[in-house]
Amino acid sequence: MMKTCPQCGARLPSNDSCQQRFDQCMALEYESPAAFGTVHHLTVTCYMLQHNAYARDAWLQARTMLAQFVRDDVTPAEMRQKNRSQLDSGQRAGHINRGAKLTEFDTIRWTSTIADVRFDDCEIYCADVARWALSVLADTEHIT
């Protein structure tokens, strides 16, 4: 029996959830940071965007960062340096998860989700996460 995630529309077996798959991704990425962990910045951002976990302003900023990661080849280290004051939890004006959510979220139709990420091996996993990131950007182009 399959179920559908109410946030991203992922079709998952009834004994699975997006959160469980995300936890599995995090375990792989932390166990093997030089292999699976090379896409950590994409995995977290895609998951959080697709589950409307950020407050509206943080959601928009995260999507902009995802575009810079994917389209401009900005590295996580470069992004941290570039946005040090904005990303520092001690200096941020607000909380990234609390506050008004993205009201346009229900207009997004996700073409790829965490359910499409395969865990077979590092190469497949990283390629799937990269494709997922591209689809998240394409699916959200209408959001401003």
Could you tell me if residue 113 is inside a domain? yes
Within 13 Å, how many C-alpha atoms sit on residue 8's CB side?
A: 25
Could you tell me if residue 94 is inside a domain? yes
- Domain span at residue 102 reads 15-139
Apex CA 33: angle with CA 92 and CA 88, to 5°? 10
Could you tell me if residue 71 is inside a domain? yes
| Cβ atoms 116, 125 nearer than 8 A | no
Q: How high is the pLDDT of residue 99?
A: 82
Mean pLDDT of 73-88: 77
For residues 26 and 57, which has the higher predicted lDDT (pLDDT)?
26
Report if pTM > 0.75.
Answer: yes
Indicate whether 105 pLDDT > 90: yes
What is the share, in percent, of the chain residues with pLDDT greater than 70? 92
Could you tell me if residue 124 is inside a domain? yes
Query: What's the domain count of the chain?
Result: 1
Could you tell me if residue 144 is inside a domain? no
Could you tell me if residue 37 is inside a domain? yes
Q: Which of 47-56, 68-77, 82-91 has the lowest mean pLDDT?
A: 82-91
Mean pLDDT of 38-45: 97
Mean pLDDT of 110-123: 96
Could you tell me if residue 110 is inside a domain? yes
Could you tell me if residue 8 is inside a domain? no
